[in-house]
Amino acid sequence: MPIDFELSEGSKLAQAHYRQVAVDQMRPISRKYDLAEHHLPTEWVDYWWDEGRFSFHDKAENKTAPNDGFVTVCLQAEELCWGDAGLYLRMPTPALGGSAVSSAGTNEQREQFMSAFREKGGHPIWGAMAITEPQAGSDAAAIETTADFDADTEEWILNGTKIFCTAGEGASTADGGFIVVWATIDKSAGRGGIKSFVVMANTPGMELIGCEKKLGIRASDTATLRFDNCRVPKENLLGSAEVRKKGPTKTGDKGFKGAMATFDASRPIVAAMATGVGGAALDFLKEELENQGIQIRYDTPPRELTAIERDVIEMEAELQAARLLTWRAAWMMNTGKRNNLEASMAKAKAGLAVTKITQKTVQILGPVGYSKKLLVEKWMRDAKINDIYEGTQQINQLIVARRILDYPSAMLR
């Protein structure tokens, strides 16, 4: 089935709507919460909880193509990160925790843990995912947090520390929120022993240690969580408790592979976030150049272009390449096609592109671009995280190489 890069009418309506949200709700408070790190952006959270409970995409469903739902999710991410990437990450949504439940959970678990985000009323809540540990960063298989089963109480007991948990503060403290925690039930089984568990907010034994002070996305809460004999019900294990040490995955066993499938959905969203930040910088740069009487001559041979014109055209090409890779990965997700190669390609390309675009924008604008008079320097700081989280640039390039060459992880590290 060929991919059509033309957006549906519903997606176009959603795109325009989210751009207006970015302009009206996010840009006016962007600098405020960049400076006020770790302060809850109450006006944005309250607005989004009311606005975002039901997707704008649903309101335009009569104009929506049947297979563009996840494409519109990526359009939402791009447009809102054009507004402010940190505020986007602070939205009260299921986020990565919800992606994990959807990827590895049962229908009953999806209903149980996601229902609060669909019901009207109530206070804002968040979902989050806890993977990274002090000794286990890009290599998720090196996780040391343990989960032991207590047969007497039919509970799992979690012990360990998780760092860099996006939305971890809100998800661990706001009633109704939850954290999906990756832990091993059998260290000797390696990847086969790693499972994911849903820990509801304010569960005894789960402690919020603090939030990171960061270079960018400062409006986002990036938490450290400690689990000390934290007990969760047996039913909170996502997928099967069966440990697979060797051989093919058993039917229904969604353990490590099921948890890793979360990234097939999250990486295109991160790539879309990157194109949003890159688009913000590039749009601003072109507007400033136009105000100074500098026009980009697209019909002129490259040898006759100025250095600035060549830079802008190259930046536009990089951004569009990242965007189209992102839409491709999202389209494949919609149609049920395996997209782990395409998701990593989009993430790797977008991370590089947004880093180059924002740095070049600051450089072209000179001292004023480097100053806090403009948001440009903030976009440069916000950009770099897209090259790091959800798998670093190097990890995603490694995944791409393995998929193209059809090599297992043991043969290509």
Hey, which residues are catalytic here? 390
Instruction: Report the DSSP beta bridge partners of residue 208.
Output: 225
Q: Check residue 150 and report its DSSP letter.
A: E
Count of CB atoms situated within 10 Å of the CB of 29: 17
139: left (phi over 0), alpha (psi -120 to 50) or beta: beta
| Helix 262-291 × helix 340-365 angle, to 10° | 20
176: left (phi over 0), alpha (psi -120 to 50) or beta: left
Residue 67: HSE in the Cβ half-sphere, 13 Å Cα cutoff: 17
- CA separation for the pair 240, 255 (Å, rounded): 6
Q: Check residue 8 and report its DSSP letter.
A: P
Tokens standing for residue 288 = 């400033």
Instruction: Report the DSSP beta bridge partners of residue 200.
Output: 178
- CA separation for the pair 406, 413 (Å, rounded): 13
Planar angle of CA 75, 7, 99, nearest 5 degrees: 40
DSSP string, 304-372: GS-HHHHHHHHHHHHHHHHHHHHHHHHHHHHTT---HHHHHHHHHHHHHHHHHHHHHHHHHHTHHHHST
DSSP string, 247-295: SSPPTT--THHHHHTHHHHHHHHHHHHHHHHHHHHHHHHHHHHHHTT--
Q: What spatial distance separates the first Cα and last Cα of the chain, rounded to whole Å?
A: 33
